[in-house]
Amino acid sequence: MEWMERHTLSLIILVPFITCLLILLVPPERKTVMRVMAAVASGITLLLSLWLCLRFDFAKGGIQFEERLEWVPLAGVSYHLGVDGVSITLVLLTAFIIFTGVFASWTIEYRTKDFLSLLLFLVTGVFGVFASLDLFFFFLFYEISVLPMYLLIGIWGTGRKEYAAMKLTLYLLLGSAFILVGMMATYFLSPTQTFDIPDLLKSAKFTTDQQRILFLMFYVGFGILAGIFPLHTWSPDGHASAPTAVSMLHAGVLMKLGAFGVLRVGMSLMPEGALYWAPLMGTIAVINIVYGAFSAMGQTDLKYVIAYSSVSHMGVVMLGLAGMNHASLTGSTMQMFAHGIMTGLFFALVGLVYEKSHTRDIRKMGGFVEKMPGIAVAFVVGGLSSFGLPGTAGFVAEFLTFWGVWQTYPWMTYIGVAGIVITATYVLRVVQKVFLGPRPDGYDDLPDARTTEWVALVILGAIIILTGVLPRLLTDFLNVGVHDYLKLLRMV
């Protein structure tokens, strides 16, 4: 048991990676075998993540399930894993999204083998980022989770896929450049010259000026991935062009990776810088919320609507971070999870609707609910969470964020709350245009979701409602984690 506890995180990272290699050995025409392998691998990571959550010690708090192996002692690099109350929920989120994502992309026939192995490779990186406590590995995993995106979008995407893939990759690499410079500076400025985050937290004393500059670098670098205004335009193009599972993973998990980076690297290592820049962070977050929501309202392509809604919702995450108190950080981290599940569900649904109706133009749709009631219900569940209806995860997250931020910056709450009206407007508008009203000609044989596709819809929809009705399932973890971050920020 003890061995298990010390190595579970490594297992979670390695299982997808090994499966990725194994899939490469399977003959390309045995597609079902590969799909089952991917499903089993992601199923195992899901079970392991759930097991971690069960074993999490709420009383102890701090970083748990630690594993440390010296890698290059001379350079202060170690393979150091561990999760706190916040990152454990993000590991769980990733596991849920990849598990359902594999099922949502069951029908991919074109180069299935390459697709699945790249997808699993990518998810290895994502798990790695959330579990890494060493900046070197953090960055390594970060790049692993960003780069396969180029191929995944470029090969299996739709629309202007090459353009979108190139734009997304270059944009995110620009962010990586900021992060890399910031990390190198952190390393050289630290007294012991180490990449280890807990060591840095203990020993490093950065001057106020250093903190201000370095936080800004991390904020911009990670912020690009979190879709902060005006550096967000890779997101609509990228998410709209990407294949279903990749959109799910990217909007659902990778954008959180950006926000998590701001929290774990930026705010915890550079607390004074974070405090200094918090008003800017909050202002931009509010712009994200309102601007993203209006942009979503102005779209006619279903995938663009969802993509812009992510820009808007990530604003809530960043706003909560800027609030820097217990409620707002809990709301922010809850929103990471809630938005991940919700947008994963949305992209799965949009993929299904597109696959069956062959259009993404909402003006050409209508009355689909009769032909695909299951998809419609799932879409409404996701939509309700998106505009923060009580009983869904989105409500708890948004309420806690706005409630908390009011203590720090009341005006941000006033404007941010207005965002939920705009969100309700565009979500209900899409529901109306796509699912309600009379059905145009030519859509007489739209099928509803099929066996494997139900997996994604049911699991994700159920989580949205479950964590909305019983939020303590999540917030108990977040509480513990947020408390640690607040201590670093000297807010408690």
Partner 1 sequence: MGELFWTAPFWCVAASLITALLFVPRRSTHWVSALPTLLAVGWSAVLALMAWNQHTASLHVQAQWLVVGDWSISVGARLDGLSALMMVIVSTVSLAVQVYSVGYMAGDSGYARYFAIMALFTAAMLGLVIADNLLLLYMSWELVGLCSYLLIGFWYRKPEAANAAKKAFVVTRFGDVGFLLGLILLSYAAGTFQIDQIEAKVATGTLDLPVGSLPAFVTVVSLLIFCGAVGKSAQFPLHIWLPDAMEGPTPVSALIHAATMVAAGVFLVARMFFLFAIAPTAMQVVTVVGGFTAFMAATIALVQYDIKRVLAYSTISQLGYMMMALGLGDRVAAMFHLGTHAYFKSLLFLTAGSVIHATHTQDVREMGGLFGKMRVTAFTALVGALALAGIFPLSGFWSKDEILLAAWRGGNAFALTAGVLTALLTAFYMTRLWVLTFLGAPRSGHAEHAHESPPVMSVPLLLLAVAAAVGGLGATAVRHALEGAGEHASLSLPLAVGATVVAVLGIALAYRLYRLGGDEPLARLVPKPLFALLERKWYVDDFFTGVVARLALLFAGAIAWVDRTVVDGIVNATAWFTGATGARLRWLTNGQAQFYVLVLVLSILATVAAVLSRFQ
In the complex, the residues that contact partner 1 under the rule CB under 8 A are 167, 170-171, 230, 233-234, 236-237, 291, 294-295, 297-299, 308, 325-327, 330, 367, 369-370, 384, 389-391, 395-396, 399-400, 402-404, 406-407, 413-414, 417-418, 420-421, 424-426, 428-429, 431-432, 435-438, 471-472, 475-476, 479, 482-483
Instruction: Between 65 and 477, name the residue whose CB sits nearer to partner 1.
Output: 477
Q: C-beta of 329: minimal distance to partner 1 in Å? A: 9
Q: Give 196's strand partners.
A: 134
Instruction: Between 28 and 437, name the residue whose CB sits nearer to partner 1.
Output: 437
Instruction: Between 16 and 416, name the residue whose CB sits nearer to partner 1.
Output: 416
Q: C-beta of 330: minimal distance to partner 1 in Å? A: 5
Extract the tokens encoding 81. Answer: 């894993």
Burial class of residue 226 in the structure, from the number of CB atoms within 10 Å of its CB (0-12 exposed, 13-18 middle, 19+ buried): buried
In degrees and rounded to multiples of 5, residue 308 shows phi and psi of: -70, -30
Instruction: Between 94 and 413, name the residue whose CB sits nearer to partner 1.
Output: 413
Q: C-beta of 120: minimal distance to partner 1 in Å? A: 31
Q: C-beta of 326: minimal distance to partner 1 in Å? A: 3
Instruction: Between 27 and 410, name the residue whose CB sits nearer to partner 1.
Output: 410
Rounded Cα distance between 255 and 310, Å, is 9
Helices 85-104 and 112-131, packing angle to 10 deg: 170
In sequence order, what are the residues at sequence separation of 6 or more whose Cβ sits closer than 8 angstroms to the Cβ of residue 466?
473
Instruction: Between 44 and 424, name the residue whose CB sits nearer to partner 1.
Output: 424
Rounded Cα distance between 380 and 302, Å, is 14
Specify the 3-state DSSP secondary structure of 194: coil
Rounded Cα distance between 255 and 261, Å, is 10
Q: C-beta of 353: minimal distance to partner 1 in Å? A: 16
Instruction: Between 8 and 328, name the residue whose CB sits nearer to partner 1.
Output: 328
Residue 193 region by backbone torsions, left for phi larger than 0, else alpha for psi between -120 and 50, else beta? left
Q: C-beta of 415: minimal distance to partner 1 in Å? A: 11
Q: CB neighbours (10 Å) of residue 52?
A: 21
Extract the tokens encoding 34. Answer: 């590969």
CA dihedral 187, 192, 198, 200 (to 10 degrees): -50
Q: C-beta of 207: minimal distance to partner 1 in Å? A: 30
